Structure 1
């Protein structure tokens, strides 16, 4: 949303007391904005420290969730809650690297349970597998826009993901059937026009 010059001028004319009231009213209605301002103005923890804490949280919560793999509906609910926490972390800290690394870590931790997953009926794990594929695709798209200084670290996550995905026959086949080339799990091999390729794949009815 763009603000007119008149609107900006009107805001600038508000008294300090009125501005404070307005700010606190907005903060009460927007928890993310409140946390973001707290992080930027007061919080002594750095982005790296918060990312490290998120990594531990992801490992801990996925380990707990893995107890419910046989109940796929509940398992996915738990995984989506973890994903929501990652999203909140990214919004609060503007952690572009973490947006990729934490989501890839989430996938890799889920696939630590490959043995349990392989014992489930394919129809039961289909939604989870499609969720994983879309997470990987999004991570690849974001990686192309990330500073190259981070590529080596992201490649490590992708390498682990590649190994775990190809160790799961049905997940591997679903990747292939949805048009995802495993060569792309190496940053230097992600096509320059990756977004267009994925758009075309989705237009053909895949990744859904």
Structure 2
């Protein structure tokens, strides 16, 4: 939404007290904005600190979800809830590197704790979409980060290679394992993904 010049002028005309009341009212209605302002203005922890906490949370909660719901239809919703926490972390900290590294960690930890038996097709498709999203984001960040991401990508690749059903599904849906080397990710990865989805894949 774009704000008109008149609207901006009207806001500027508010007294300091009126602006304070308006800000507090907005913060009460927007929890994410409230946390983000706290992080930027007061919080002594850095984005790196928050990311480390998220890494621990992901490992702990994925294991718990797998133990409790691994063989049931509730496993995927449980993983989605953890993914939502990553999204919240990114919105609060604007941690672009963490958006990639934490998502890949979620994928590898999910596969690591996945029960050997059961129908995991929907979960696999969900994870493949997460991987494609991570590939797109990786091409958008500074290549200096590639070295830091290589180990995480390698961990995901290892888990896929240990799961023949997933490996075949990945190839069928246009995901090449050579792309797990950040330097090998094709340019215009977003265009490639659109073409794959246009063919009815990743569903």
Superposition TM-score, scaled by structure 1 size: 0.94
1:70 is aligned to 2:63: no
- For the residues of structure 2 that align with 1:178 and 1:77, how far apart are their CA atoms? 22
Q: Which residue is equivalent to 1:33?
A: 33
- For the residues of structure 2 that align with 1:85 and 1:151, how far apart are their CA atoms? 24
Over 4 Å off, 4+ runs: none
One of 158, 183, 188 as aligned partner of 1:163:
158
- For the residues of structure 2 that align with 1:179 and 1:102, how far apart are their CA atoms? 23
RMSD: 0.9
Q: Which residue is equivalent to 1:128?
A: 123
CA shift, 1:188, in A, is 1.0
CA shift, 1:4, in A, is 1.4
One of 198, 203, 206 as aligned partner of 2:198:
203
- For the residues of structure 1 that align with 2:156 and 2:19, how far apart are their CA atoms? 49
CA shift, 1:5, in A, is 1.4
1:79 is aligned to 2:79: yes
Between stretches 147-156 and 92-101, larger displacement belongs to 147-156
CA shift, 1:193, in A, is 2.0
How far does the alpha carbon of each residue in 1:33-87 deviate from its partner, in whole angstroms, 9 at most, with x for none? Answer: 010001111111111000000000001101101112111x211111111001000
Return 5+ residue gaps in structure 1 as ranges.
none
CA shift, 1:113, in A, is 2.2
SS in 2 for 1:99: helix
- For the residues of structure 2 that align with 1:193 and 1:96, how far apart are their CA atoms? 18
Q: Which residue is equivalent to 1:152?
A: 147
1:182 is aligned to 2:180: no
Q: Which residue is equivalent to 2:50?
A: 50
SS in 2 for 1:144: helix
- For the residues of structure 2 that align with 1:33 and 1:189, how far apart are their CA atoms? 37
Q: Check conservation: 2:65, 2:75, Cα contact below 8 A.
A: yes
Q: Check conservation: 2:62, 2:113, Cα contact below 8 A.
A: no
- For the residues of structure 2 that align with 1:188 and 1:196, how far apart are their CA atoms? 18
- For the residues of structure 2 that align with 1:51 and 1:69, how far apart are their CA atoms? 26
Superposition TM-score, scaled by structure 2 size: 0.97
Q: Which residue is equivalent to 1:89?
A: 89
How far does the alpha carbon of each residue in 1:94-122 deviate from its partner, in whole angstroms, 9 at most, with x for none? Answer: 000000000000111111125x2x322xx
Return 5+ residue gaps in structure 2 as ranges.
none
SS in 1 for 2:160: helix
The aligned length equals 202
How far does the alpha carbon of each residue in 1:108-156 deviate from its partner, in whole angstroms, 9 at most, with x for none? Answer: 1111125x2x322xxx211100011000000000000011121111111
